Amino acid sequence: MVSLLSQLFVGLSIGSILLLVALGLTFTFGQMGVINMAHGELIMAGAYTTYEVQKAFGPDSVTAAFLVSLPVALVVAGLMGLALEAGLIRRLYGRPLDTLLVTWGVSLMLQQLARDLFGAQNVAVASPSWLSGGISPGGIDMPYNRLFIIALALAVTAGAWVVVSRMKQGRRMRAVMQNRQLAAASGIGTAGVDRRTFFLGSGLAGVAGVAITQLGSVGPTLGTNYIVDAFLVVVVGGLGSLRGAVLAAVGLGLINSLAEYWTQASLAKVIVFVCIVAFLQFRPQGVVAQQSRGLA
């Protein structure tokens, strides 16, 4: 039983990582319909931002550097996403396959840029002392770094919910998603809403990159390890639904963890994909279906 409960905690932590990675796509893909294959490279940018901030602060200020990295990575990744939206994606709204191809090319260029700037070898980011070790209530291993990621995922999700449900930007975002032409006719500046939405979604990817540095080294292909799972979370949860993304991330994390517990890692991935395919056959709109008056 202790071993099973430990595995459930691992599944919860995996779900938290998936949620952090997928939250940005909930806005750019779920709300705007943009298939951004460069989302993984925005995660990579957040991870490398943590590495650079830590170098600037020095080895004696690891905790301060890590905390400062969170808002800095949000701004850096957000500005990169803003540049991507202004330079390319703005001309491709309503053409999802074109955005897929274009952003895939951008992702390859960003990976090569990372190799040129930081080298092909992975780099390590030091962990603050308070993220080392863990607790073992009842024999259940709970590392501090995974507990922190769970707490960060909850905090970021709560912040995103406030933006979507309680702020003017969120109301305008939902209006543009439901009917772009009607929103424009009502006086909403759709171009400005698109920019702010893309900045927010991209910035959240940067925050996810900061968290991922506590799980391993940072390399140019870091984002490619998470991009497919992030899209699956958004699709299974329901396009544009924060609540659906939370449920899908936790569910997929638990299924993956339990499948690994009973089988092995490679077979667990197969089981997860089979479960996703089976679920979408019965509920193609996802866990939470968003009401819409027409997507244009």
According to the model, what pLDDT value does residue 76 have? 96
Residue 29 and residue 238 in contact, taking contact as beta carbons nearer than 8 Å: no
According to the model, what pLDDT value does residue 66 have? 93
According to the model, what pLDDT value does residue 206 have? 94
According to the model, what pLDDT value does residue 212 have? 92
Q: Is residue 128 part of a domain?
A: no
How many folded domains does the chain comprise?
Answer: 1
**If you write DSSP's letter for every residue of 73-135 in order, what string do you get?**
HHHHHHHHHHHHHHHTGGGGTT-HHHHHHHHHHHHHHHHHHHHHHH-SS-B--PPPGGGSSEE
Residue 270 and residue 290 in contact, taking contact as beta carbons nearer than 8 Å: no
According to the model, what pLDDT value does residue 65 have? 93
Six token digits for residue 204: 């959240």
According to the model, what pLDDT value does residue 296 have? 39
Q: Is residue 212 part of a domain?
A: yes
Q: Is residue 104 part of a domain?
A: yes
According to the model, what pLDDT value does residue 91 have? 85
Q: Which CATH number fits the domain that encloses residue 65? A: 1.10.3470
**Residues of the chain scoring pLDDT < 70:** 289-296
* Single-letter code of the amino acid located at 20: L
Residues 204 and 292: their CA atoms lie apart, in Å, by 25
According to the model, what pLDDT value does residue 293 have? 44
Q: Is residue 233 part of a domain?
A: yes
Q: Is residue 292 part of a domain?
A: no
Give the Å distances, CA to CA, from 268 to 8, 245, 253, 261.
Answer: 15, 21, 11, 9
Q: Is residue 135 part of a domain?
A: no
- Residue 216 lies in domain: 2-120+142-282
Q: Is residue 220 part of a domain?
A: yes
Q: Is residue 293 part of a domain?
A: no
According to the model, what pLDDT value does residue 165 have? 84
